[in-house]
Copies of this chain bind each other. A is one copy, B any other.
Amino acid sequence: MLDLWFSESHADDAKFSIRVKEHLYSEKTPFQQIDFFKSETFGTFFTLDGYIMMTEKDEFIYHEMITHVPMAVNPEIKKVLIIGGGDGGTSREILRYKSIEKVDLVEIDERVVRLCQKYLTQTACKLDNDNRLTMHFEDGKEFVKRTKNGTYDLILVDSTDPIGPGEGLFTNEFYNDCQRILSDDGILINQHESPYYKDYCHEMKRAHSKIKDKFPISMVYQFHMPTYASGHWLFGFASKKYHPLNNLNADRWNSLGLKTKYYNTNLHKGAFALPNYVIEELEKTE
């Protein structure tokens, strides 16, 4: 049997490896290196520039946590902008809400979408069969720059790490535009890196220090993501008006009857209770 392993470095001297049953596809686009693999434990997974973006088996955690937290705080959200998210998982979750009227998905690399439509239909399933969704293949930074004030109720930054094509999505300019194009009810959720390993923690602090200056409410919440570095991952919740805990109406969200595998409204509250060392690192930027 072929003994083939994919490895991702979490630090210079720590790595996570998955045995590969089949290297399904590999392509170098103008933006990044894309690879799809098949594995037993994680199902199909894909990587960008060698970093795991998602696996079939644990993607539900990330996609539920980026979506249902803001929707449970403000169920009146109607217009959504997704930056990145080419695998379609975030779109799939947000489009479960009948109340959503419009989703713009801005993915810099069309090849990610097209390849996920071929190899990862579990997440890409809704990308071409829900007419509330429009795909835009361009740089998210440019898209938000030319978008009118107050256009969206929710922005979900479902980006790669701040190296390579995702870099512009971790800048002051980008966050300023997000703030500007959100309605007064607006909420921004961003991929907020991880507190544990040094390099990730550094990016976590950089992102937080920029966002907290631009929104009256800026908090961070955590979840368990087995295939990401250290398994400890974060999203940022920034808002002009809504507090993620004080404005959570659990009964209202539960009355929607959405079945979820990770998210629930108790966990919603628990996810904002961070460990001391994470709070301290986040405060260092303040």
Contacts and interface: CB of A to CB of B under 8 A. Distances in A.
Interface string A186-202: 00000000001110000
A124 to B, nearest CB: 22
Nearest to A39: B13
Contacts of A135: none
Which of A13, A232, A264 has the largest number of chain B CB atoms within 10 A?
A13
Copies of the polypeptide in the assembly: 2
Interface string A267-286: 11111111111010000000
A231 B222 contact: no
Contacts of A275: 61, 224, 261-264, 267
A148 to B, nearest CB: 38
A225 B274 CA distance: 14
Contact of A230 (B231, B267, B272, B273): B231
Interface string A5-32: 0010001111111110000000000000
Nearest to A57: B196
Interface of A: 7, 11-19, 39-42, 58, 61, 196-198, 222, 224-226, 230-232, 260-264, 266-277, 279
Given A14-B17, A261-B275, 10 more contacts: A12-B40, A15-B17, A58-B196, A224-B231, A226-B231, A262-B277, A266-B273, A267-B274, A267-B276, A270-B270
| Those 8 A-B pairs whose CB atoms lie nearest each other, nearest first | A231-B231, A270-B273, A270-B270, A13-B19, A224-B232, A226-B230, A266-B273, A262-B275
